[in-house]
Structure 1
Amino acid sequence: MITPPRTPHRWDPDRYLTYADERGRPFLDLIARVAATAPRTVVDLGCGPGNLTALLHERWPDADVHGLDSSAEMVERARGRDDGVRYDVGDLRAWRPEAPVDVLVSNATLQWLPEHLELLPQLLDQVADGGWLAFQVPGNFEEPSHTIRRDLAEQEPYVAHTRGVAVPASHDPATYLDLLAGLGCEVDAWETTYLHVLTGPDPVFTWVSGTGARPTLQALPDGLRERFEEEFKARLRTAYPERPHGVVLPFRRVFVVARKAGAVR
């Protein structure tokens, strides 16, 4: 959920949580590969509304669990959970803990930072020897859910408003593995394509309007935004037709779990 400062859009926790179960499954698959047994400090960079960060506290109840997000709206929602986690507003690029942490997690966040590959060594520096860095990023940016939005945003009369808005991007698992292995980590990197079966009116639009398409939609003025949305929905309905069991959204995700060299905790 961390976004570059040039993007003025605001996150909507309610819209984001519409498909909370589907969005949460990759997080569970990610942390299942983190073999830390008794970490003292666990940090979630890009914690969003806190529903997933709370699972870190449940898994490691004796740890000090901290969630950080650049969205004040998301952090406000997270703080309302009263789940034993400390939540703060902040930019992960400037984040520096008082001491290296034992487990550092980032779920569906780094894709918003174009420079995140160059940022990974800095993040690893904040992890204790023997600690864990685990992150997951979407890898579906050439799917219709993204290409339709991108192509439409480049057309008149939208392009004057959408030029330069934040768009997510990521790399293949091998790219992350090579980088972190080169820094001395033991790395587990993989990808999974989930087939989400969605229901309701224009469910793919509902999904993307809460995440990847949100900066584009918020960049458009009233009136023009509604026009864009209707055309976007129509094209998505063609790309993702209704089936007897619902609308199927294939979603590729990239996972990385790296253990830093040193004593294991």
Structure 2
Amino acid sequence: MPTWDEKQYLKFADERTRPARELLGRVPLAAPRYVVDLGCGPGNSTALLAERWPEARITGVDSSAEMLARARLDLPGLEWVQADLAQWQPGTAPDLIFANAVMQWLPDHPALLPRLFDLLAPGGVLAVQVPDNFDEPSHVWMRSLPGSWSETLASVRQGPRVLRAGHYYDLLAPLASTVDIWGTRYEHVMTDAAAIVEWVKGTGLRPYLEALPAAQRDSYQQAYLAAIEQAYPPRADGRRLFSFPRLFFVAQR
């Protein structure tokens, strides 16, 4: 996992929180007693859960001490736990495990998703949103940008951990009473190509930058920016559309 910078991540807080709102809107629970925000980050998604269910016990779980420090600062009344998300085990069975934009960082979804589902209380819900942008230009260029850094970054390049919608359905449908699954492609209006680079520096680009020696980072970023300039051309008003597909699924026990 990369080292997280909550300030960089929250530069686009509204855009990053919008999918969490849409995922939450499809959770079919009236009054859950215990809610877990798995991969809570700086707490922007956890705040939505607390707003919807103010009487619930809510726990935010993340592997990043930096992200949790910001979450504790903004939402001191909630419970925050630092843990390895792939191995996390709750002390009490949750009524909701909410996982917004975190599963793409975790391995072995065919084993992980059924394990998480099995942790739920009877009638509980697993709600997941995951970026589905492995084949988008923003991510293709991260791992295939030609240059002196290619050999160094070879170890960062990995196959997509995000499965197809049908695979997730087949994993959860035999276990669940209902599975709601859908995809959305957001078209984020960005001021310029540099803004797109700033966005991905908060998430997908971080492992690549961290793998490079300091002497190569600037040249890599300049080459990446040039590629993004071409991949996301200016629209009629000079702004860029940053196309961002996401996959959602909500499974109830």
How high is the TM-score relative to the length of structure 2? 0.95
1:76 pairs with one of 56, 69, 80: 69
**For each residue in 1:42-82, what CA deviation from the matched residue of structure 2 results, as whole angstroms up to 9, or x when unmatched?**
00110000022111011011100000111111001101013
The answer for the alignment partner of 1:11 in structure 2 is 4
Alignment of 1:223 onto 2:215: yes
Alignment of 1:212 onto 2:204: yes
The answer for the alignment partner of 1:6 in structure 2 is none
Aligned partners of 1:240 and 1:247 also within 8 Å? yes
Aligned partners of 1:57 and 1:84 also within 8 Å? no
Amino acid at match of 1:72: A
Structure 2 Cα separation of the partners of residues 84 and 195 of structure 1: 35
Q: Secondary structure at the match of 1:223?
A: helix
How high is the TM-score relative to the length of structure 1? 0.90
Aligned partners of 2:131 and 2:244 also within 8 Å? yes
Amino acid at match of 1:160: E
Q: Is the alpha carbon distance of 1:178 and 1:42 closer, same or farther for their aligned partners in structure 2, counting shifts above 3 Å?
A: same
The answer for the alignment partner of 2:184 in structure 1 is 192
Q: Secondary structure at the match of 2:117?
A: helix
Structure 1 Cα separation of the partners of residues 135 and 141 of structure 2: 9
The answer for the alignment partner of 1:263 in structure 2 is none
Structure 1 Cα separation of the partners of residues 238 and 29 of structure 2: 39
Alignment of 1:122 onto 2:122: no
Q: Is the alpha carbon distance of 1:23 and 1:209 closer, same or farther for their aligned partners in structure 2, counting shifts above 3 Å?
A: same
Aligned partners of 1:166 and 1:215 also within 8 Å? no
The answer for the alignment partner of 1:51 in structure 2 is 44
The answer for the alignment partner of 1:149 in structure 2 is 142
Q: Secondary structure at the match of 1:230?
A: helix
| Gapped regions of structure 1 (runs ≥ 5) | 4-8, 261-265
Q: Secondary structure at the match of 1:130?
A: coil
Structure 2 Cα separation of the partners of residues 200 and 72 of structure 1: 32
Alignment of 1:139 onto 2:132: yes
Amino acid at match of 1:34: V
1:158 pairs with one of 149, 171, 189: 149
The answer for the alignment partner of 1:172 in structure 2 is 164
Aligned partners of 1:136 and 1:253 also within 8 Å? yes
Structure 2 Cα separation of the partners of residues 166 and 238 of structure 1: 22
Amino acid at match of 2:247: V
Amino acid at match of 2:226: A
Structure 1 Cα separation of the partners of residues 187 and 134 of structure 2: 15
**For each residue in 1:138-187, what CA deviation from the matched residue of structure 2 results, as whole angstroms up to 9, or x when unmatched?**
112101001111111xx452133223227563112221111100223410
The answer for the alignment partner of 1:181 in structure 2 is 173
Q: Secondary structure at the match of 1:208?
A: helix
Aligned-pair distance for 1:22?
Answer: 0.9
Structure 1 Cα separation of the partners of residues 238 and 18 of structure 2: 20
Q: Which moved more, 1:89-98 or 1:36-45?
A: 89-98
The answer for the alignment partner of 1:31 in structure 2 is 24
Structure 2 Cα separation of the partners of residues 110 and 34 of structure 1: 18
2:93 pairs with one of 92, 100, 104: 100
Q: Which moved more, 1:116-125 or 1:249-258?
A: 116-125
2:240 pairs with one of 237, 247, 251: 247
Structure 2 Cα separation of the partners of residues 163 and 206 of structure 1: 23
State percent identity of aligned pairs: 47
| Gapped regions of structure 2 (runs ≥ 5) | none
